[in-house]
Structure 1
Amino acid sequence: MTVTAYTLAVVLNLFILFIGARFLFRPRPAAAGYGVPAKPDGDAAYFAIKGLRDATYGVLGLALLLFVGARAEAWFMLVVALAPLGDTLIVLRHGGTKAAAFGIHFATAVVVLISAVLLFLV
């Protein structure tokens, strides 16, 4: 179980780091993948804010796992699950599809919560 818990945590942290980088370097495709396409005249600063937020979460998660341990990472995952839960609501409120809201964001929240449980059990 330890290998599974650590592997899932690392994969999730690398994934959110990737998403952050994508919003920083390829913002329009990243926004479409998020579930709410960007408006052509949208403010690019918001892409950078989302990208930086997500990249920071990924780096922080990896640092906690590496330098503090599984219990700190478990608490981090528990708290950070709020982001994809909020993203679910954002997609639903701003014209995104239910498939994107639940299939991407809500499912991500569930996997993050599973990761937290596994890490608490280590």
Structure 2
Amino acid sequence: MLSAIAYGLAIVLDLFIVFIGARFLLAPEAAAAGYGVPAQRGDSAYLTVKGGRDFSLGLIGLALLAFVGAEAGAWFMLIAALMPLGDTLIVLRHGGTKATAFGIHFATAVVVLISAALLFAL
């Protein structure tokens, strides 16, 4: 049962990162607004970089789970939790709301850390 929950949560999180990356590639302005810091004119290159990064990292997480296993996936999740923690600070420092910073980004970091702990427990 724990194995199904651990792998299931990790897979859902990795797929969600793939989705976020795709959204930044296909609808960058809408994705930036959802992120908590609206895009400024001329930011499209940076939004594309973010989209490519997120898309690729989600696929890396899935590949680690599929081809290496739970421990590699756990280490990936542990390190990947730094990204939403950093996003929390970015939103706060650039005029975003505390609700977005903590309700989306910090909460995501907590869920990713829970995922890492579950994978380490296997």
Q: Which residue of 1 aligns with 2:53?
A: 53
Q: Which residue of 2 aligns with 1:24?
A: 25
1:83 & 1:42 partners in 2: Cα distance?
A: 23
Structure 1 residue runs without a partner (length 5+): none
1:47 & 1:70 partners in 2: Cα distance?
A: 31
Q: Is 2:43 the partner of 1:43?
A: yes
Q: Which residue of 2 aligns with 1:11?
A: 12
User: Which letter does structure 2 place at the counterpart of 1:89?
Assistant: L
Q: String of CA shifts for 1:52-90, please: whole Å, max 9, x gaps.
A: 010011000000000000000000000000000000000
Q: Which residue of 2 aligns with 1:88?
A: 88
2:42 & 2:100 partners in 1: Cα distance?
A: 21
1:121 & 1:99 partners in 2: Cα distance?
A: 32
Q: Percent identity?
A: 72
1:13 & 1:45 partners in 2: Cα distance?
A: 24
Q: Which residue of 2 aligns with 1:74?
A: 74
Q: Which residue of 2 aligns with 1:115?
A: 115
1:104 & 1:57 partners in 2: Cα distance?
A: 19
Structure 2 residue runs without a partner (length 5+): none
TM-score by length of 1: 0.98
The alignment of Structure 1 onto Structure 2 pairs a total of residues equal to 121
After TM superposition, what 4+ stretches of structure 1 lie above 2 angstroms from structure 2? none
